Amino acid sequence: MNESTIPTTPRREFWRGVRDEAPILLGVAPFGLIFGALAIAAHIEIPVAQAMSSIIFAGASQFIAAQMIGTGTSGLVILLVVFVVNLRHALYSASVAPHVRHLAPGWKFLLAYLLTDEAYAVTITHYNQEGDPAKKHWYFLGAGLTLWTVWQVSTAIGLFVGAQLPQDWPLGFVLPLTFIALVVPALKDKASIVAALTAALVSMLTFGFFFKTGLLVAAFLGILTGLLVEGKPK
Amino acid sequence: MSLWLVTLLAGLLTYGTRLSFILLLDRIKVPDWFRRGLRFVPVAVLSGIILPALATYNATLNLSLRNPQLYAGALAVLVAWRTKNVLLTILAGMGALLAIQLLLGLF
């Protein structure tokens, strides 16, 4: 029997989310370790560093924040930078919003907390596939909680043992590879191909922009060209 | 500002961006182009993350033919396109990168 024809249950959806998130963890765990070690190097106290992983819960911005704390940057500047670096999450929020619309407020508040790059990537792919849309939030929860747990644990290990990772073992490469695996099958029409190519090229041109603002510009131009190629609906 | 306060406020800001449209889309009427644009969000944002990640090798931007991640990435695109399988794509890309690095180390 084809997997998609089996009637789905919340439990099955949850574990599918956990399973689909698993390969990404290979790339995420080393970053958690490195963040922990980075926080120690910046003389951030262990409880604060762990709280950064659970309260901010956004890898790239935590890296930058830890480095800025280490160099004695003022709190307001750090807040501004964290805000800008994490602005792309507003795009993710808009993208999943129609899919979680039917849920109770409690679910919305919980899933928003778990809306990281990595959980978003697998979850939006799942939302765009066939299946029972009324149960897919369990998949979201499974993927999100899996990533959350690994981020907390790897941060803790990094804080206590420091980063003694083999430098020549390029596990960070798992992240772009996973995103490739999720994006390529979604390129089904000319409009999405143009959107992807535009965003990729612009993100290269704007690579030097400060704190991921280049990614925002690239994403907006990609979405815009996608809309233009698609044209008005008849 | 104490580090605890910075962490708490940074967390609130981040959570706010994540929650923003999930709550707003229920309350406001958004124009039609906005709704149609949403389908391009994943391919645009993730593609914008992928290419700079492939091009950054040894912590520097390297778009030359000597960057093995570009070959490994191209192979991964091919495998993803043919198989639509996440694990196979990761294995092919990682395998290619390690193989090229090994070869470069030998010569």
User: What residues in B contact A183, CB-CB < 8 Å?
Assistant: 42-43, 46-47, 50, 80
The number of domains in chain A is 2
Same domain, A122 and A193: no
Percent of the residues in chain A that have a pLDDT greater than 90, as a whole number: 53
Residue A215 lies inside a defined structural domain of this protein: yes
Query: Which residue, chain included where needed, has tokens 């808009």?
Result: A94
Alpha-carbon distance of B33 to A207, in angstroms, equals 28
Residue A48 lies inside a defined structural domain of this protein: yes
Give the ipTM of the model, two decimals please. 0.86
The residue in chain A having the minimum alpha-carbon distance to the alpha carbon of residue B46 is A179
Same domain, A66 and A117: yes
| In chain B, domain spans | 1-30, 39-106
- DSSP states of chain B as a string? --HHHHHHHHHHHHHHHHHHHHHHHHHSPPPHHHHHHGGGHHHHHHHHHHHHHHHEETTEE--STT-HHHHHHHHHHHHHHHH--HHHHHHHHHHHHHHHHHHHHH-
> What are A160-214's pLDDT values in tens digits?
887 565 555 677 788 888 889 889 988 989 999 999 999 999 999 988 777 677 8
Inform me whether the C-beta atom of residue A51 falls under 8 Å from chain B C-beta atoms: yes
Give chain A's end-to-end CA distance (angstroms, integer): 38
Residues 129-168 of A with CB under 8 A from B: 168
Same domain, A57 and A93: yes
A44 and B3 Cβ atoms separated by less than 8 Å: yes
**Residue A174 to residue B90, Cβ atoms within 8 A:** yes
Of the candidates A136, A144, A124, A233, which has an alpha carbon nearest to the alpha carbon of residue B45? A124
Same domain, A148 and A195: no
Domain range for A97: 3-168
* Side-chain-facing half-sphere of A154: CA atoms under 13 Å: 23
User: What residues in A contact B104, CB-CB < 8 Å?
Assistant: none
Assessment of whether the complete model's pTM goes beyond 0.80 = yes
pLDDT in tens, chain B (107 residues): 799 999 999 999 999 999 999 999 888 888 888 888 888 988 998 898 899 889 988 878 888 888 999 999 999 999 999 998 888 998 999 999 999 988 887 65
Residue A206 lies inside a defined structural domain of this protein: yes
Same domain, A152 and A74: yes
Residue A75 lies inside a defined structural domain of this protein: yes
Q: In what helix (H) or strand (E) does residue A169 lie, and over which residues does it extend? A: none
Structure tokens at B39: 């389908």
- Rounded to the nearest integer, the mean pLDDT of chain A is 88
